[in-house]
Amino acid sequence: MEPNVEPLDIHPFYGRRVAEARGVWHLATRVLPLHTLLPVLAELRLAWVRWTSRHTPVRYAQLTDQLINLGSGGRGKPGWINVDVCPAPGVTCTFDCRKRLPFADNTARGIYTEHFFEHIDYTEEAPHFLSECRRVLKPGGVLRIVVPDAEKYIRAYCEAGWDTMSRVRGLDATHFDPYAECRYHTKMELLNEVFRQAFEHKFAYDFETLAFLLGKYGFSRVVHQEYGRSLLTDLCIDQERRASESLYIDAVK
């Protein structure tokens, strides 16, 4: 019998979920660790999404001058095509867009993605994703990417104390993170949450790295932007609550 060990209260509360597992979940966690099981289940779900959405491109074959929000979650905008793998209020297209987009060539004037790009693999998926965005954009169209700014977090980590880190992440005086719903004991715990988010985050970006990728996959101009400022005003739909931690980049086809 495993010893009774107090679990860590860190996102996504793996220790607590294992300790409280019952029935099928309990049996599953005896076969595979939860940190292995959850990514497998997530990929199986995405495989099902790809199968059920295989005819989606037909719906958009005749559309032009689109505004597209990739990984919109429940923040979809009226009049936009709001894409996510999970159904939610405002999502108009359920699709796994890591390697393929269900839109015709040269049909979008703007593509927006906020805190999604860090969820795709740097080597296996990012090249396909950026190439697809470029294919779908009209000449002169703008791709706006918003991700956690790794440079901000690393600089904050290197400073003494918690003041800068708390401002970047929006922590309270007890180091509680309202976004991840956990309290950090050390700044390194916070860095791992931001850069890994359990198994969900695949890569941490600074401007230099993201600009390199965008240039490599065909974007002619890359601009380091700010919250609420874009080359295409329609793409200024950034979440204010993520502004302190985010890196904003516009890329032009």
pLDDT digits (tens, 9 = 90+) for 36-64: 888 998 999 999 999 999 999 999 998 89
* Chain centre distance of CA 185: 25
Give the whole-angstrom CA distance, residue 243 versus residue 134: 26
- pLDDT higher at 149 or 7: 149
**Sign of the alpha-carbon torsion through 37, 42, 47, 52:** positive
**Percentage of the chain modeled with pLDDT above 70:** 93
pLDDT of residue 23: 74
pLDDT above 90: percentage of residues in the chain: 79
**Which pLDDT belongs to residue 88?**
92
Per-residue pLDDT, 14: 65
Mean pLDDT, the chain, rounded, equals 92
d(CA 200, CA 30): 22
Average the pLDDT over each of 177-181, 229-233, 237-241, 243-247 and give the range with the smallest value: 177-181
How many Cα atoms occupy the beta-carbon half-sphere of 82 within 13 Å? 18
Q: Give the containing element (helix H, strand E) for 176.
A: strand 176-177
pLDDT over 70 at 146, yes or no: yes
**Non-local CB neighbours of 94 within 8 Å, separated by 6+ positions:** 49, 52, 53, 56, 83, 84, 85, 86, 87
Angle between helices 126-136 and 207-216 (to 10 degrees): 60
Whole-number pLDDT of residue 30: 74
Locate the domains of the chain by residue range. 57-149+205-252
CATH number of 57-149+205-252: 3.40.50.150
The tokens for 171 are 């922590």
Count of H-run helices and E-run strands, the chain: 9, 9
Q: For 181-223, how does the pLDDT look when each residue is reduced to its tens digit (9 = 90+)?
A: 888 999 999 999 999 998 899 999 999 999 999 999 999 999 9
Dist. CA 131–CA 184, nearest whole Å: 38
CA–CA distance, 160 with 239 (Å, rounded to integer)? 29
Q: What pLDDT band is residue 141 in, cutting at 50, 70 and 90?
A: very high
User: What pLDDT does residue 1 have?
Assistant: 43
